[in-house]
Homo-oligomer: A and B are copies of this chain.
Amino acid sequence: MRFIHTSDWHLGRTLHNQSLLDEQAAMLQTLLKLIEEHQVDALLIAGDIFDRSVPPAAAVTLLDEFLEQVTLKLGVAVIAIGGNHDGQERIAFGARQMAGAGLYIQGPVAADIKPIRIDGKSGSAFFYPIPYAEPALVRHLLELDIHTHEEALSALIERALAHDNQGLPRVALSHCFIDGGSESDSERPLSIGGADKVSPSLFYPFDYAALGHLHGPQFKGQQHVRYSGSPLKYSFSETKHNKSVTLVELRAGEDPQITLLPITPRHDVRVIEGYLDALLEEGKTSSGREDYLMVRLLDTHAILEPMAKLRAVYPNVLHLERTGLLQERSITGPGRERMQKSELLMFEDFFNQVQGSPMTEAQRSLMSELIASLHRGESK
């Protein structure tokens, strides 16, 4: 049994108000090629398929067209569970009718975890889809005294393990936060405090646990209890991640073979730092000039419309930090004299940029007087 495990697609997400739908479409094309190339029997999506409960209609269409390719054109089964971002009732619509076409979507958690048997070219296995669920919901559903995510998941897993797997490998799908997992800025906490954390050992009885929620690829406790991570970078805290999907091969009596298949984005998400002129010069020959960028400018003087200047070279600058100005301010402090000098300097920069030539001595002295008189006026 060979499958690809992925999660946290967040279709429809924006990054600093920039739609990422084209990036997501390109990522799905890459994934499609990997599915074909590696001849997998199934694709597992461990939650947060969409970014929110009501995604944009274009994101719905994007997923629909991708799933048509995978299930109907390639004949590869897809097993997906709802994450904490998904509208579980919405993604589950028609799921029972889709199952016949090899598309298994588990929306709201059910009292019984329904095993899905996939008989692939490379072997058979049982898959146990456990969607994200609030502990209160599981308490109500199972009529048990459940208060934490650990208790909820433990009860659900117990039910999954009670199923007779006929000696076949067992794979769990779950969207949860395992204790000690490394977080990034783009995951929405499951609950306040530490009550959202679960122990990795819950998943040890499975042959593989395909997890979703954390955006960095990682395993917890044992190699086979694993987050695939998101296939795209969804915040500037993820710039150092190597994004991938996880290829898993299960063989009877052996540890699962795990390979991370890198996903190269059409445009990367990066942070660049430097002086404006140098960055603009660099950008002219940079292959990554269309990347999604956070720019940290080291210049310590005022700059007219720095964003517009940067975007003329780097069209996808999403965020700008004036690191240089911040540092200068924190060194010198905001004394009155310094403030006056600084205002004159700022105006000089402004004048220079608008006129294309520096101020004359007469102009400088006029401006200096004007600033001083404004300050006297303020203190009256």
Contact = CB atoms under 8 A, between A and B. Distances in A.
B93 A101 contact: no
Interface in A40-82: 53-54, 57-58, 60-61, 63-64, 67-68, 71-72
A89 interface: yes
A98 B72 CA distance: 11
A66 to B, nearest CB: 11
A79 to B, nearest CB: 13
A89 B61 contact: yes
Nearest to A98: B97
A335 interface: no
Interface string A104-136: 010000000000000000000000000000000
Contacts of A53: 57
A57 B72 CA distance: 28
Contact of A64 (B68, B93, B101): B93
B90 A101 contact: no
B89 A67 contact: no
Nearest to A92: B64
A57 B89 contact: yes
A216 interface: no
A97 B92 contact: no
A64 B93 CA distance: 6
Interface in A308-335: none
Given A94-B94, A98-B94, A101-B100, A89 B60 contact: yes
Nearest to A102: B97
A57 B96 contact: no
A87 B87 CA distance: 16
A103 interface: yes
Nearest to A65: B96
A53 to B, nearest CB: 8
Given A98-B98, A101-B100, A93 B54 contact: no
